């Protein structure tokens, strides 16, 4: 996140940690722009809160309240929540998780919203001598510059109730401070120092390391940003030449930096933002102003080192593209640039999106809406995987336009491992943060009692449906699995889904029996039947049994007999059916050393004159994905 010293309304982007960048989003349709309902109560600031879900924080110009609205995944936006009423004009400096940092004059304060109750804490003052525009997150600690008086300032980090001095007091003025991540999660801090004579210097520092000078002597610096790619980008002006974008990468040790120029156009650059794309490279986007002509430009570079390519132009036009009317940012699902193109009546909101797999190719520029008076426009990108852009219109609404390329997320319910009623109850539901869930695709797969491959061959159980439950029949001795994929209203479909499986027993009637067995009816047994015998040596068998384990389903009672389980004549286990009376007892028998091959499963009675009641056998449930 990068605070500004010269803006009254900015929304910026938090760089996601490197671990998030490894995330592969679900498959989706072509990115589609959709609008969400307006959020009322806008003011002159709209700032990003955090990347988990979506939040907006702003200052209500009617009464100078610090206000927030939150949206949990799959839910609607909350009503505006007043976080603080400071009694003077505040400015939001940074948001971090559920905490909003704001200043009133030189007083830096923070307030935290409880995400479960949506109740804010009482605002607390962090310092009364804050240097505006210098708040950052360094090693997960809030960090800022303090004015000590007498022309001296210092940089401090708050660790609990303790202040740690990051930069000792010196006769300098801090123009900007930004913190973030570099490759390998090295916490980094960058800042600009201005000496009494006006000369500026750009420094970087690894957490608990030594400051390193970065940049050229005699230049001025602005728009510092640590990006999701691990790069530090900034805008540098030297002499009378137009401001240009520069980018730097840190070595694997987190200490040494290499800085390079980014080729641009003829105008003065501002607001650079760089992110990764899927094949390992980087994409950078920024705005440029050349007199009465504005442009949005982009460049690409390899993931590590190498030159940046010549700038490509996403959009251009006449007039001025002011800081409040441009925003860009990147995360693990892509990169977004949005701006309000000035025209004779106001401005037209536009957006362009670059998906992670597009190897640097931006999608078409899309018109999102209009703002009647360009002075009312405030816009920026929220930290959300769908990369929405938030923008204000006539001072009484906030609109969210989303490049919806993210599929819904389905939650499905499993069942017991054994289906004694031969039914797999399937229930499911899905949420989609931006577009409604339009339909579901139910798939099933079956593994039969004589199939030991365990490989699931999925097939559609029905056409697209809006149903959220179904009872699936499971054949005797078979394993049936199901999974569900949701599709949203703009065609984004899930590419992965939870799988739930259950196995139905083989009935006693599915077993080949020798003499001595009698089939009996019993309404409370599996399939309402049992096999009964008292004869020693009586056998039940099942041919071409492919597994090396089984569960025997039987009736237990005090004077029950004993049976032996065999696989192709090899002893597996001896089981006694004697004990406290109980229906449908299932006990395992296994011989892993036998390996998996077709064999004969046998149940042989080894007791004499004692009753044995067999209800069936349960093959193992272990399908592979």
Q: How confident is the model at residue 60 (pLDDT cuts 50, 70, 90)?
A: confident
Sign of the alpha-carbon dihedral angle for 473, 479, 480, 481: positive
Q: How confident is the model at residue 14 (pLDDT cuts 50, 70, 90)?
A: very low
**What is the pLDDT at residue 403?**
77
Lowest mean pLDDT among 60-69, 191-200, 392-401: 392-401
Lowest mean pLDDT among 114-123, 316-325, 373-382: 373-382
Q: How confident is the model at residue 18 (pLDDT cuts 50, 70, 90)?
A: very low
Q: Would you call 516 exposed, middle or buried from its count of C-beta atoms within 10 A (0-12, 13-18, 19+)?
A: middle
Q: Is the pLDDT of residue 592 over 70?
A: yes
Return the higher-pLDDT residue of 401 and 21: 401
Most confident of 57-61, 279-283, 450-454, 607-611: 607-611
**What is the pLDDT at residue 357?**
64
pLDDT tens for 504-560 read 999 999 999 999 999 999 999 999 999 999 999 999 999 988 888 899 999 999 999
Average pLDDT over residues 436-452: 89
**What is the pLDDT at residue 47?**
52
Return the higher-pLDDT residue of 13 and 119: 119
**What is the pLDDT at residue 231?**
86
Phi, psi (degrees; rounded to nearest 5) at 375: -65, -20
Give the bridge partners for 511, in sequence order: none
Q: How confident is the model at residue 181 (pLDDT cuts 50, 70, 90)?
A: low
Q: How confident is the model at residue 12 (pLDDT cuts 50, 70, 90)?
A: very low
Q: Which of 418, 382, 384 is nearest to 398 (CA)?
A: 382
Sign of the alpha-carbon dihedral angle for 252, 258, 262, 267: positive
H or E segment and range at residue 83: strand 81-84
Q: How confident is the model at residue 24 (pLDDT cuts 50, 70, 90)?
A: very low
Domain 409-503 has CATH 3.40.50.2300: no
Q: Is the pLDDT of residue 383 over 80?
A: no
Q: Is the pLDDT of residue 128 over 90?
A: yes
Q: Which long-range contacts does 567-572 make (Cβ < 8 Å, 24+ apart)?
A: 567/591, 567/594, 567/599, 567/600, 567/601, 567/602, 568/594, 568/599, 568/600, 569/600, 569/602, 570/594
Q: Is the pLDDT of residue 414 over 80?
A: no
Q: How confident is the model at residue 597 (pLDDT cuts 50, 70, 90)?
A: low
Which residues are CB-neighbours of 312 under 8 A, at least 6 positions away? 297, 298, 299, 362
Q: What's the CATH superfamily of 506-618?
A: Galactose-binding domain-like (2.60.120.260)
List the chain domain ranges. 1-16+41-128, 132-261, 264-303+314-379+391-405, 409-503, 506-618
Reading the block at residue 199, the tokens are 């000369």
Q: Is the pLDDT of residue 606 over 80?
A: yes
C-beta of residue 190 within 8 angstroms of C-beta of residue 209: no
Domain 132-261 has CATH 3.40.1190.20: no
Average pLDDT over residues 489-506: 90
**What is the pLDDT at residue 603?**
96
Lowest mean pLDDT among 225-234, 321-330, 397-406, 455-464: 397-406
Phi, psi (degrees; rounded to nearest 5) at 315: -160, 155
Degrees (nearest 5) of the Cα angle 425, 430, 432?
175
Q: Is the pLDDT of residue 23 over 50?
A: no
Return the higher-pLDDT residue of 389 and 368: 368
**What is the pLDDT at residue 11?**
24
Most confident of 200-214, 251-265, 365-379, 549-563: 549-563
Phi, psi (degrees; rounded to nearest 5) at 529: -140, 160
Average pLDDT over residues 120-134: 96
């Amino acid at each position: 996140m990068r605070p500004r010293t010269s803006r009254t309304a900015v929304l910026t982007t938090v760089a996601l940690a490197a671990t998030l960048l490894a995330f592969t989003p679900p498959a989706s349709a072509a990115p589609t722009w959709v609008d969400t309902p307006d959020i009322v109560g806008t003011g002159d600031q709209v700032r990003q809160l955090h990347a988990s879900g979506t939040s907006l924080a702003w200052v209500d110009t009617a009464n100078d309240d610090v206000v927030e609205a939150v949206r949990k995944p799959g839910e609607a936006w909350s009503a505006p929540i007043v976080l603080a009423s400071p009694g003077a004009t505040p400015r939001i400096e940074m948001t971090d998780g559920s905490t909003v940092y704001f200043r009133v004059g030189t007083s830096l304060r923070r307030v935290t919203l409880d995400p479960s109750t949506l109740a804010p804490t009482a605002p607390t003052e962090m310092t009364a001598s804050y240097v505006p525009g210098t708040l950052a997150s360094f090693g997960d600690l809030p960090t800022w510059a303090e004015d000590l008086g007498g022309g001296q300032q210092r940089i401090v980090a708050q660790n609990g109730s303790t202040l740690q001095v990051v930069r000792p007091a010196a006769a300098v003025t801090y123009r900007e401070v930004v913190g973030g991540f570099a490759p390998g999660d090295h916490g980094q801090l960058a800042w600009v120092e201005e000496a009494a004579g006006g000369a500026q210097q750009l420094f970087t520092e690894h957490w608990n390391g030594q400051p390193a000078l970065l940049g050229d002597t005699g230049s001025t610096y602005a728009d510092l940003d640590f990006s999701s790619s691990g790069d530090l980008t900034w805008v540098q002006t030297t002499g009378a030449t137009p401001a240009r974008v520069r980018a730097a990468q840190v070595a694997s040790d987190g200490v040494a930096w290499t800085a390079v120029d980014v080729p641009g156009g003829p105008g003065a650059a501002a607001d650079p933002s760089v992110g990764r794309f899927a094949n390992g490279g980087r994409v950078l986007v920024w705005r440029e102003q050349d007199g009465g002509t504005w442009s949005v430009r982009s460049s690409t570079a390899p993931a590590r080192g190498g030159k940046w390519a010549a700038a490509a132009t996403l959009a251009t036009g006449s007039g001025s593209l002011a800081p409040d009317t441009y925003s860009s940012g990147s995360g693990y699902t892509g990169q977004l640039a949005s701006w309000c193109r000035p025209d004779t009546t106001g401005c037209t909101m536009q957006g362009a999106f670059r998906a992670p797999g597009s190897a640097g190719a931006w999608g078409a520029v899309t018109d999102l809406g209009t703002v009647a008076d360009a002075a009312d426009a405030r816009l920026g990108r929220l930290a959300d995987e769908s990369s929405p852009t938030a923008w204000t219109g006539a001072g009484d609404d906030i609109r969210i336009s989303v490049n919806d390329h993210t599929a819904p997320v389905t939650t499905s319910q499993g069942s017991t491992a054994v289906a004694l009623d031969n039914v797999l109850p399937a229930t499911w539901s899905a949420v989609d943060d931006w577009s409604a869930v339009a339909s579901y695709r139910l798939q099933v797969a079956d593994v039969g009692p004589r199939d030991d491959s365990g490989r699931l061959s999925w097939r559609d159980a029905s056409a697209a449906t809006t149903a959220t439950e179904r009872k699936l029949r499971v054949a005797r001795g078979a394993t049936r699995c199901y999974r569900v994929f949701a599709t949203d209203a703009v065609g984004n479909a899930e590419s992965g889904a939870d799988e739930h499986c259950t196995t139905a027993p083989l009935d006693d009637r599915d077993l080949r029996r020798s003499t001595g067995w009698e089939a009996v009816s019993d309404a409370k047994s599996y399939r309402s039947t049992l096999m009964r015998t008292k004869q020693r040596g009586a056998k039940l068998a099942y041919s071409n049994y492919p597994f090396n384990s089984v569960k025997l389903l039987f009736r237990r009672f005090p004077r029950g007999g004993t049976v032996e389980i065999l696989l192709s004549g090899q002893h597996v286990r001896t089981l006694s059916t004697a004990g406290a009376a109980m229906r449908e007892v299932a006990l395992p028998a296994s011989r892993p050393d036998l390996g998996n091959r077709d064999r004969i499963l046998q149940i042989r009675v080894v007791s004499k004159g004692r009753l044995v009641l067999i209800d069936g056998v349960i093959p193992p449930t272990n399908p592979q994905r």
